Structure 1
Amino acid sequence: MTIIERLQQYKELDPHKVALIVDDKKYTYDDLYDAVLSIDINHISRIVNVAKTRESVKNQVLLIQSQSFLEQLVYWLGALYRGYIPMVCHNEMDIDYIEKLSLVIASEGVPPLSDFGVLTSGTTGRPKPLWRKEESWREFFDIQNNIFRINEDTKVFLQGSFSFTGVSNMVIAVLWAGGTIVTTSSLRPTRWIELLERYKVDHIYALPTKLRLLVRHCKCKLPFINYIIAGSQVLDRHLMEQLQQICPNMEFILYYGASELNYITYCTGKEWLDREGTVGRPFPSVKITEADDVIYVTTKYHIEGISDTYTVNDCGYIDKDGYLMFSGRQGDVINKGGYKISIPEMELYLQSLQGVSEVAVITINDDIRGEDFVAYMVLEDNTELSKIIEIIHHERPSVEWPKAVLEIPMLPLTECSKVDKRKLKEWYNKG
């Protein structure tokens, strides 16, 4: 059964069931399916021909340009329904970049069995197009939904653009299960909390950066939250404890994945607390191995054009119980005059210091050592930066001291909720 056929089935079986809530606007499965059938492809899209014959719709990529979550979702589904190959552009992309992307797609072409395209988050450079068959997602939905406890009664809150793989995959997986998505375009955590309370949401899907914002602004208990699903950014014990206080009935589920490979490993909050630094054990049908500290993943649920065993050059090792201990991307290291400092490990240490709410480490050039690093911090109320620096100098060798520790009110985030380190570097260089 295809994704579109699944939606049609829900429309026929339970047309009045709410599929999507965007702020205070509700859309039933009936509304959503009808919207998919009635879209005007040319309204907010750009068609890129990727084959010599223009007669075949299947050889046309549909670049969807909209900042509306609803339009992104409906146009993506509508393009699938009509046989186009949809790809949602990131909101930050300007006309010039979309033009260049079109030329790249037209010249490089698309693998023959592709059903849709996804864009990388672009945290290490320009976003690049990746191509997928529909079954690389839909055949994994039942597996991931079972792990994440998602079913027809589920209400998941998430915030972000449909253009990011984590968001789009979760949205379609919830619709596949017949559940309900709750979202907003607002970046205000107080607005998120309003929606959580109003609709008694039982799942939150968010990266730790957004969970920290939620914790900072939430002044009440959220006992109806049963699960928090989070990607494997820097976690710390204090954040887990704060989330447990706010959501006393929740189970925390951490996952590790990649746009190229889908979900790879997962663990519960308790498992993470027992093995800080782990990203869990493999999802069913996924295998992981490690060679020279590089992680290799074997899965059939990957993008087109790569082998079943593949690496995205993430580093780590597998412990005796089969848990993957993650240490970051290859090259995510500061070479300070020959002394190697792992950025993820340093961020984890700094995040663990009492009074530190959020932290990000950036690499800078150094005339003497070649490389050094700067730490940006968001501190909790009444915490003095001088005391934090004093602790670092007391607990770490001098070669691991940051060149500077800078306090800011909030870390800048990219559209996909990761810390915008390029912006931090710009701030530092201007300063």
Structure 2
Amino acid sequence: MTIIERLQQYKDLEAHKIALIVDEEQYTYGQLYDAILSMESKNISKIIDLGQFNDGSKNKVLLIQRSSFVEQLVQWLWGLNKGYISMVCHNEMDGAYIDELARIISFEGVPKSADFGVLTSGTTGRPKPLWRSESSWREFFDTQNNIFHINKDTNIFLHGSFSFTGVSNMVIGVLWSGGTVITTSSLRPNRWIQLIETYHVDHIYALPTKLRLLVRHCKRKLDSINYIIAGSQVLDRQLMKQLELICPNMEFILYYGASELNYITYCTGKEWLDREGTVGRPFPTVKIAEQNGVIYVTTKYHIEGIPDTYTVNDCGYIDSDGYLMFNGRRGDVINKGGYKISIPEMELYLQSLQGISEVAIITINDDIRGEDFVAYVVLEDNAELSKIIERIHHERSSVEWPKTMLQIPMLPLTECSKVDKRKLKEWYNKG
């Protein structure tokens, strides 16, 4: 059964069941399916006609340029239904880059087996197009939904653009199960809390950056939350303890994945606390191996054009119990006069310090040592940066001291909920 056929089934059987809530607007499964069928081609964004494949089938890419979550979702599903290869552009991509992306796609072409495209997050450079078959998601939905405890009764809150692979996969996975997705365009955590309480949300899907915003602004318990699903960015014990206080009934589920490879490993919060630094054990049918400190993943649920065993150059090792211990991406290291400093390890250390709420490290050029680093921090109330710096100088050798630490009220985030380090570098260079 295809994704569209699944939605049609829900429309036929439970047309009045709520599929999507965006702020004050509610959309039933019947309304969502009808919106897909009734959409007209004149409302779509940009089509790249790549001619025909050898067998005469259409080869058209639909570049979706909409900021509205509902429009992004409906156009993506419409393209899937019509046989277009849909790709949602990040809102932060300007017109010049979208034109450049169209030229790249026209030049490189699209694999015949592709049903839609996804974009990398672009945190380290320009977003790149990747191509997927529908089955690479669809055939894994039951597996991931079982791990994440997602079913027809699920009310999940998430925040972010549908262009982010993690969000789009989760949204379609929840709709596949017949559950309800709740979201908002608002960046205000108080609005998130209001929606969570109003609609009795039982799941939250978010990266740690968003969870830190939530705990900073939440002054009461969210008793309805049963599960928090989080991607494997920098996680720390303090955040876990804060989440346990405001969501006393929740089970924490941490996952590690990649746009190229889908979900790879997962663990519970308890497992993470027992093995700090782990990203868990493999999902069913997924295999992992380590070679020279680099993680290799074997799965059939990957993008088109790569082998079943592949690496995205993430580093780590597998412990004696089969848990993957994650060390970051290869090259995520500062070479400070020959002394190697791991950025993920240093961020984790700084994040653990009392008084630091959020942290991000950027690499800078240094005339003497070649490379150095700057730490941007968001401090908790009443924390003093000078005392934190004093503690770092006491606990770490001088070669590991940041060149400078800069206090800011909030870390800039990309639409993919990741720290926008390109913007931090711009701020530093302008300063």
Q: TM-score, normalised by structure 1?
A: 0.99
Instruction: Give the equivalent residue in structure 2 for 1:221.
Output: 221
Question: Take 2:42 and 2:136, find their aligned partners in 1: how far apart are those partners?
Answer: 28
Instruction: Give the equivalent residue in structure 2 for 1:302.
Output: 302
Question: Take 1:314 and 1:53, find their aligned partners in 2: how far apart are those partners?
Answer: 35
Q: CA deviation at 1:51?
A: 2.6
Change (3 A) 1:72 1:298: same
Kept after mapping to 2: 8 A contact 1:296/1:310: yes
Instruction: Give the equivalent residue in structure 1 for 2:258.
Output: 258
Question: Take 2:346 and 2:56, find their aligned partners in 1: how far apart are those partners?
Answer: 52
**Matched position secondary structure for 1:375:** strand
Q: CA deviation at 1:429?
A: 1.1
Q: CA deviation at 1:52?
A: 4.6
Counterpart residue type for residue 240 of structure 2? M
Q: CA deviation at 1:352?
A: 0.3
1:168 aligns with 2:168: yes
Question: Take 2:99 and 2:40, find their aligned partners in 1: how far apart are those partners?
Answer: 21
**Matched position secondary structure for 1:289:** strand
Kept after mapping to 2: 8 A contact 1:41/1:75: no
1:382 aligns with 2:382: yes
**Matched position secondary structure for 2:390:** helix
1:6 aligns with 2:6: yes
Kept after mapping to 2: 8 A contact 1:297/1:311: yes
**Matched position secondary structure for 1:331:** coil
Instruction: Give the equivalent residue in structure 1 for 2:205.
Output: 205
Question: Take 1:44 and 1:68, find their aligned partners in 2: how far apart are those partners?
Answer: 13
Instruction: Give the equivalent residue in structure 2 for 1:331.
Output: 331
Instruction: Give the equivalent residue in structure 1 for 2:63.
Output: 63
Give runs of ≥4 in structure 1 deviating > 4 Å.
52-57
Write out per-residue CA displacement over residues 192-250 of structure 1, whole angstroms, 9 at most, x where no aligned residue: 00100000100000000000000000011001000000000000000000000000000
Q: CA deviation at 1:117?
A: 0.5
Kept after mapping to 1: 8 A contact 2:36/2:75: yes
Q: Across the two proteins, how many residue pairs are aligned to each other?
A: 431
- Aligned-CA RMSD value: 1.2
Q: CA deviation at 1:42?
A: 2.9
Question: Take 1:333 and 1:8, find their aligned partners in 2: how far apart are those partners?
Answer: 49
Q: Which moved more, 1:406-415 or 1:339-348?
A: 406-415
1:81 aligns with 2:77: no
**Matched position secondary structure for 1:50:** strand
Question: Take 1:355 and 1:336, find their aligned partners in 2: how far apart are those partners?
Answer: 27
Instruction: Give the equivalent residue in structure 2 for 1:146.
Output: 146
Q: CA deviation at 1:97?
A: 1.2
Instruction: Give the equivalent residue in structure 2 for 1:106.
Output: 106
Kept after mapping to 1: 8 A contact 2:280/2:323: yes
Q: CA deviation at 1:290?
A: 0.3
Kept after mapping to 2: 8 A contact 1:288/1:296: yes
Change (3 A) 1:54 1:324: closer
Q: Unpaired runs of 5+ in structure 1?
A: none
Kept after mapping to 1: 8 A contact 2:52/2:58: no
Q: CA deviation at 1:95?
A: 1.5
Instruction: Give the equivalent residue in structure 2 for 1:291.
Output: 291
Kept after mapping to 2: 8 A contact 1:50/1:107: no
Counterpart residue type for residue 212 of structure 2? R
**Matched position secondary structure for 2:243:** helix
Q: CA deviation at 1:275?
A: 0.5
Q: CA deviation at 1:44?
A: 3.5
Q: Superposed, which structure 2 residues align to 1:395-414 within 5 Å?
A: 395-414=395-414
Counterpart residue type for residue 137 of structure 2? W
Q: CA deviation at 1:284?
A: 0.2
Question: Take 1:248 and 1:261, find their aligned partners in 2: how far apart are those partners?
Answer: 33
**Matched position secondary structure for 1:51:** strand
Q: CA deviation at 1:55?
A: 11
Kept after mapping to 2: 8 A contact 1:358/1:377: yes
Q: CA deviation at 1:56?
A: 6.2
Write out per-residue CA displacement over residues 63-119 of structure 1, whole angstroms, 9 at most, x where no aligned residue: 111000000000000111111110111101122111111111111110011100001
Kept after mapping to 2: 8 A contact 1:57/1:83: no
Q: TM-score, normalised by structure 2?
A: 0.99
Counterpart residue type for residue 332 of structure 1? D
